[in-house]
Amino acid sequence: MGILSGMRVVESSAFVAVPLAGMTLAQMGADVIRFDLPTGGMDAGRWPVAPNGQSLFWAGMNKGKRSVALDVKTPRGREIAQEIICAPGDDAGLFITNLATQGWTDHATLAARRPDLVSVSLRGDRHGRPAVDYTVNPAVGFPMATGPEGSEEPVAHALPAWDAIAGGLVVSGLLAAERHRLRHGSGQAVDLTLKDVAAAMLGHLGIIGEHAVTGTTRGRAGNSLYGAYGQDFPCADGRRVMVIGLTARQWQNLLKVTGLSEPMDALANALGADFRDEGARWHARHAITAVLAPWFKARRVADFAADLDRAGVTWSEFRTFSQAIEDDPDLSPDNPIFSEVTQPGIGTYLSPGTPFGFSGMARDPATPAPLLGQHTEAVLADVARLPEGDIARLFDAGIVAQPSRAALRAAS
């Protein structure tokens, strides 16, 4: 059932942020209807792909949604999309998009059909320019503060972090505006840009303030934890671990478990520093690492893992994606958020449901992404309330589409 059971959200989207927002809502129980061209959206082939060319990305980002294939390049197709978005229902009239630049899904246009519509539109930047995670990130400065100390090469992150952060805000903005509608009856156009999400974060993290009051900002610091202590260490077995001394307790636990309190005190004395102060640890990080590194270099991860856990040290191992997927019980059916799901046209593999646990309801296992157009007929009938004959004519005219009966049978 899910905590958002009964809510209906329509999505016109591509790529990460808005699809992820829709999926987050779907995995909390909302009926999320995504519409795409019968040939698929811009992200229909987004990598990674299966050997048969099917997009594993698309399958990952659209789990639990309903899919409508609709030729919105035709006037009737657009009208049907608008009917679906604006269909009646107290818990409907909710729309999320990152494609509103196309005009016909503008809030004003839609609100003429349903005045209490809540729409959330994510755009590139406030000037109407396109932007993606890969361009927003360099623009605000993170790649120039990433990678080895002393390097001059920018390093872009591999995680589409701004997209994922913006996707979370799309969910929050939608739920906040719907909450307001419940109380006051009024709809709302919620606007957000990917660039503003990143720009605001520079402020939230104190980076803009730092520039203002110190005239400078942080530079590259390799894998060091910024502003306190945390470092990666190669071990005797060729593995590498990340070890954290951010809080006073983490720092003390680390010294205790390695038995290096004494040389660390000597180091602090030599430097005239007090390592109880996180800034002092940051300034002395290279010297601190020199004291700690031989301890890790002389040991295999298996030699110290249990001790570190017992001592409450905050640490982890560096893994490749494949190592993590193969070795980590948190990435296995042992973790209740995961289950083996059969994705039609691709295969059966481990898929995550919502990471939330809600005490008042059972955890729903993950469900697959739909086939493109899998729910076209159902949504035209149940949501747009079109008569059977009209629906047949739309199929005949190629304005709407759905997979073959055989594919639908195989998928359900």
**Contacts to a second copy from residues 118-137, by CB under 8 A:** 124-126, 129-132, 134-136
Does residue 167 bind a second copy (CB under 8 A)?
yes
Of positions 75, 102, 112, 211, contacts a second copy by CB under 8 A? 211
Q: Is the peptide bond before 148 cis (omega within 30 degrees of 0)?
A: no
Residue given tokens 């059966």 in the structure block = 348
Strands (E), 48-159: 66-70, 94-97, 118-123
Q: How far apart are CA 230 and CA 226, in angstroms?
A: 8
Residue 387 CB, nearest distance to a second copy (Å)?
33
**Choices 75-83, 163-171, 255-263, 392-400 (CB under 8 A): range interacting with a second copy:** 163-171
Task: List the one residue from 80, 178, 372, 401 that touches a second copy (CB under 8 A).
Answer: 178
Query: Where are any strands of DSSP class E within 160-258?
Result: 188-193, 229-234, 240-245
Q: Which is nearer to a second copy, 307 or 330 (CB)?
A: 330
Q: What single letter denotes the amino acid at residue 92?
A: A
CA distance 74 to 277: 65
Q: Which two tokens stand for residue 114?
A: 């349903």
* Residues in region 266-285 near a second copy by CB under 8 A: 277-279, 282
Using CB under 8 A as the binding rule, whether residue 193 contacts a second copy is answered as yes
Q: Considering only residues 74, 109, 146, 252, which one is a binding residue for a second copy as defined by CB under 8 A?
A: 146
Q: Are strands 240-245 and 229-234 parallel, antiparallel or unpaired?
A: antiparallel
Overall size of the chain counted in residues: 412
Identity (one letter) of the amino acid at 370?
P
Contacts of 405 (CB under 8 A, 6+ apart): none
Of these, 247, 261, 269, 342, which contacts a second copy (CB under 8 A)?
247
Type of residue numbered 411: A
Tell whether residue 173 is a contact of a second copy (CB under 8 A). Answer: yes
Examine residue 188 and tell whether it contacts a second copy (CB under 8 A).
yes
Query: Which one of residues 165, 381, 391, 408 is an interface residue with a second copy (CB under 8 A)?
Result: 165
* Backbone phi, psi, residue 279, to 5°: -65, -35
Among 274, 356, 392, 397, binds a second copy (CB under 8 A): 356
Place of tokens 């001790």: 307
- Footprint on residues 73-112 left by a second copy (CB under 8 A): 107
Provide, rounded to whole angstroms, the least separation between the CB of residue 330 and a second copy.
5
362 touches a second copy (CB under 8 A): no
Q: Is the peptide bond before 48 cis (omega within 30 degrees of 0)?
A: yes
Please indicate whether residue 163 is annotated as part of the active site: yes
Question: What is the distance between the alpha carbons of residues 178 and 173, in angstroms, rounded to a whole number?
Answer: 8
Closest CA to 140 of 170, 164, 163, 162: 162
Query: Considering the rule CB under 8 A, would residue 367 count as an interface residue with a second copy?
Result: no
Residue 213 beta carbon to a second copy: minimum distance, rounded to whole angstroms: 5
Size of the site for a second copy (CB under 8 A): 158
First-to-last alpha carbon distance for the chain, in angstroms, is 19
**Which residues, 324 to 353, sit near a second copy by CB under 8 A?**
324-326, 328, 330-331, 335, 337-338, 343, 346-353
Least Å from the CB of residue 303 to a second copy = 19
Is 248 or 298 the residue whose CB approaches a second copy more closely? 248
* Catalytic-labelled residue, pool 163, 277, 303, 382: 163
Question: Of the candidates 77, 93, 187, 344, which one interacts with a second copy according to CB under 8 A?
Answer: 187
Distance CA(385)–CA(84), nearest Å, equals: 9
Contacts of 272 (CB under 8 A, 6+ apart): none
CA-based nearest residue to 114, from 75, 77, 84:
84
Using rule CB under 8 A, residue 47 touches a second copy = yes
Q: Is 316 in the site for a second copy (CB under 8 A)?
A: yes
Closest CB to a second copy among residues 39, 261: 39
Secondary structure of residue 148 in the 3-state scheme = coil
Residue of the chain from 73, 89, 102, 139 that contacts a second copy (CB under 8 A): 139
Residues taking part in catalysis = 163
